[in-house]
Amino acid sequence: MRNLLKTKITTKLFVLLLGIFTTISLFSQGQNLLKLVKDNDVNAVKELIASGAEINFEQEDDLHGMTPLGLNIMMNNSVMAKILIDAGADVNTKNYLGDALANNRVEMVKLLIAEGANVNREEEISGSIYTPLIQAFRSTELTKILIDAGADVNHRDKIRGSTPLIQACKSYNPEAVKMLIDAGADINAQETSSGYTPLIYTCQYNFQDLAKDLITEGADVNLKGHDGTTALLEIASRSQELTEQLLSKGADIHAKKEDGSGIFLQCITGILFERVPIEMAELLLSKGANVDESPASGTEAGGTALMLASGFNKEELVKFLIQKGANVNAKANDGTTALSLATAEGHQNIVETLKNHGAK
């Protein structure tokens, strides 16, 4: 009985040790495989795979969980990648496709897709969730490859709710924008977090040719972001031509941001920084803009165009606004007036002009 018990214990110990040695052996083989992949030794890799090396082995230390296939993608060796995949490397265990896209590895991207990589895989990167198509927005070639492979052109990331078209617009890639629209991307998709559309973003970034293309494609010119902004409000301080185009397409001249500011103050800001001519203010007033428009809230609450022009010492603009009926005695919520601003800044010419027109 005692001998039988001894035999059982010895057998269990043997099995345990065998398992440990097998694990150590597999770990060692896995490390060797990573090294051989790193050394780009194709023949040695084939031999090690044939001897049973773990093809999806992960190195946890200095390679940060890198697998042989992941390491190879960084090295951009399509031949080695094919060998590893044929030996059983799983193209979807990690974001291999995303890594290849991020490094503009065109041939590697094609190979991974051909081998079954998920073109709609979601991956968290720096706090945002991306799909391959969103990761590829800077490259027209990669965008086309993914679209042809069936990538969802309207997929939203789970953090901001952005779409590939929004990203292509923000990164200024006209060819990718056209490609996405032709493939069925929603031209009026609103980013979940901001409510901004592709058109609002192109106006905000002053990508005027892109904005014109979107308008031609039928973008809704009156959609609003969560802060109330519209394409017209974003472009009014940047481009008279595009402002006129938006108005001709029915953009609402009376739209206001969340703080109550509207198109006229945006235009005045553009005039102050010499981005648009004073004639644009004339145009907006002729279409019904309010010369005494002011924000209802925020640090500039109650401030008017005349106050801005007076504070910036823009005498021509001050005279123009007065001529158009601006209230020279309007007060901001903090009591500031055009006269008090001009006086505080030492703009004596503005002070005299305001007083000559009844400012007190």
The answer to whether the CB of 262 falls within 8 A of the CB of 298 is no
Interval 178-197: pLDDT, tens: 999 999 999 999 999 999 99
Record the tokens describing residue 275, joined without a space.
Answer: 């981005």
Q: Determine the average pLDDT of the residues in 264-288.
A: 96
Task: Report CA Rg, the chain.
Answer: 32
What is the model's pLDDT at position 295?
83
Q: Determine the average pLDDT of the residues in 185-213.
A: 97
Residue 33 included in any domain: no
Q: How far apart are CA 81 and CA 180, in angstroms?
A: 30
What is the model's pLDDT at position 24?
36
Q: How far apart are CA 265 and CA 302, in angstroms?
A: 12
Residue 161 included in any domain: no
> What is the CATH number for 279?
1.25.40.20
Domain count of the fold of the chain: 1
* 348, burial (CB in 10 Å: exposed 0-12, middle 13-18, buried 19+): exposed
Residue type, 282: E
Record the tokens describing residue 62, joined without a space.
Answer: 């200095």
Domain extent, residue 263, equals 256-360
Q: Using pLDDT thresholds of 50, 70 and 90, give the confidence band for residue 200.
A: very high
Q: Is the pLDDT of residue 296 over 80?
A: no
Residue 352 included in any domain: yes
Residue 53, C-beta contacts closer than 8 angstroms, at least 6 positions apart: 26, 29, 30, 32, 33
What is the model's pLDDT at position 135?
86
Q: How far apart are CA 166 and CA 188, in angstroms?
A: 10
Q: Determine the average pLDDT of the residues in 90-112.
A: 93
Residue 272 included in any domain: yes
Q: Is the pLDDT of residue 172 over 50?
A: yes
Q: To which residue do tokens 């979601």 refer?
A: 122
Residue 323 included in any domain: yes
Phi then psi for residue 69, to 5 deg, are -65, -40
Q: 100-105, long-range: CB within 8 Å, 24+ apart, which pairs?
A: 100/73, 101/132, 101/135, 101/136, 101/139, 101/142, 102/135, 103/73, 103/74, 103/76, 104/139, 104/142, 105/73, 105/76
Which of these, 358, 273, 252, 267, lies nearest to 304 by C-alpha position? 267
Distances (CA, A) of 170 to 122, 125, 227, 228: 20, 18, 19, 19
Q: Is the pLDDT of residue 321 over 60?
A: yes
Residue 28 included in any domain: no
Residue 93 included in any domain: no
Q: Is the pLDDT of residue 90 over 60?
A: yes
- Residue 345 CB neighbour total at 10 angstroms: 14
Q: Is the pLDDT of residue 1 over 70?
A: no
What is the model's pLDDT at position 18?
37
Record the tokens describing residue 310, joined without a space.
Answer: 């007076």
Interval 12-65: pLDDT, tens: 543 343 333 333 333 344 457 788 878 878 888 888 888 877 777 675 544 456
Mean pLDDT of the chain: 87
Residue 317 included in any domain: yes
